[in-house]
Chain A
Amino acid sequence: DQQVKQNSPSLSVQEGRISILNCDYTNSMFDYFLWYKKYPAEGPTFLISISSIKDKNEDGRFTVFLNKSAKHLSLHIVPSQPGDSAVYFCAAKTGTASKLTFGTGTRLQVTL
């Protein structure tokens, strides 16, 4: 049972444009959501997070939007840069539990 879903396995965006990565979840108990970026041969790197009491969180070029009624969140990267090319994972957790439930990832390629 995939509780966190990233339905787009890959995304290609031109440098300077906006990248939008999407994530859906089914477990209504999730109350904290995180995005991680992963390069080959490295561990996931934390990018940005959002609590379920908010609908938007921004950090530089990265903005995460949360739509609780739709159980959907998205990561916007503006402007996209070639160094953003990586696999992006959406993850969710419940309360104070440390367990993260990950999606399957979306491979972003930013082209020149």
Chain B
Amino acid sequence: EVQLVESGGGLVQPGGSLRLSCAASGFTFSSHWMHWVRQAPGKGLVWVSCINSDGSSTSYADSVKGRFTISTDNAKNTLYLQMNSLRTEDTAVYYCARGGIYSGSHSDYWGQGTLVTVSS
């Protein structure tokens, strides 16, 4: 059974940093693109970032480019999102989601999400 479990969310002050993790199981993690998608309270889904299976290719939404870094540890089957210079508008539930084997694919499995609150 495919499982994605996010962790690392919490309350952080503006300008602070946080690292999210997504532990994957039930599939060959090193074969799939992986995504981070966020959802501000009461708002819609916003794609944040993705990474390919060996970590050699990454992409970011303009709103987080230069502040967030996505990475993977295939030995630990874990996806990460390092978030620096956090702003109040980064407050959201952050979901990790499994993509396809190739780029340009839908996301078929999603984690339950972890809440990040940026506030003073």
Chain A partners chain B: no
